[in-house]
Each structure stands twice: as structure tokens, then as C-alpha cells.
Amino acid sequence: MASTTPQFGLSSIGQIFVRAKDLDRAVRFYRDTLGMPFLFQVPRMAFFQCGATMVMLGIAETGELDHAASLIYYLVPDIALAHTTLRGRGVEFITEPHLVHRAPDYELWLADFRDSEG
């Protein structure tokens, strides 16, 4: 008997948490350097909109949460332009834009950088 239960699968991200050591410095980086739309700030947290995803910068509340572990992949229409613009704003890149995968209908390019929090 075939199952008629719909398959469950995560298909979008609602919010990403990015740990910050210095919240004010991180807000300046995400707002002023990356140009991400700032939403609001409350004690120990700041919120930004990135397309359909909310990005929350926050100070870790416990030692077990105080570690660098965020990797965020941003979609940009022109990676060369994004790289040039962000480098001009002082962003230090770990890697230059490089082709990761070529498929018949798209190419996947990456350029890695660290945010203000390392």
C-alpha cells in the first residue's frame, strides 16, 4: 500500500543566528559595510532582513553557545561586483571569487570572507 502522507522537508530559512562578541561593531558591519537592511535592536540582539530570511546578531547567553559556527551563503546577482564593492568597504576576503560547480543551467561561484566578529 502506497503512503499518501506528504513528504516532510525543510525548504526555506526563516532566521539565522550569528554570534557577536561586540554587538555594536557587528551592527555597523552588517548595516554599513554589507548594506543589509537593519530592522531593530534590543538588549543583546539586533535583527536584519536579508531577502526572505531574518538575520539575528546576538551575544551568546551561555558559554556553551559562545563559539564561532555560523556560515552564511548570500545570493548575489553579480559576484564580481559584490566582491569589488565589499572589498572597497574594507571587507577582507579569505578567497577570491572562484567557480565551485558548473551545471548545464547554472554556475556556482563562491568568495569567502569573515565578518567583523571573525
| pLDDT value of position 93 | 93
Judge whether residue 2 has pLDDT over 90. Answer: no
What's the CA gap between 40 and 42, in Å, rounded? 7
Distance (Å, whole) CA 118 – CA 101: 27
Mean pLDDT for the chain overall: 86
10-65 pLDDT, tens digit per residue, is 577 788 889 999 999 999 999 999 999 999 999 999 999 999 999 999 997 766 65
User: What are the residue ranges spanned by the domains of the chain?
Assistant: 15-110
Topology of the domain covering 15-110: 2,3-Dihydroxybiphenyl 1,2-Dioxygenase; domain 1 (3.10.180)
Q: Which residues contact 13 (CB under 8 A, 6 or more apart)?
A: 53
The angle subtended at Cα 10 by Cα 8 and Cα 11, nearest 5°, is 115
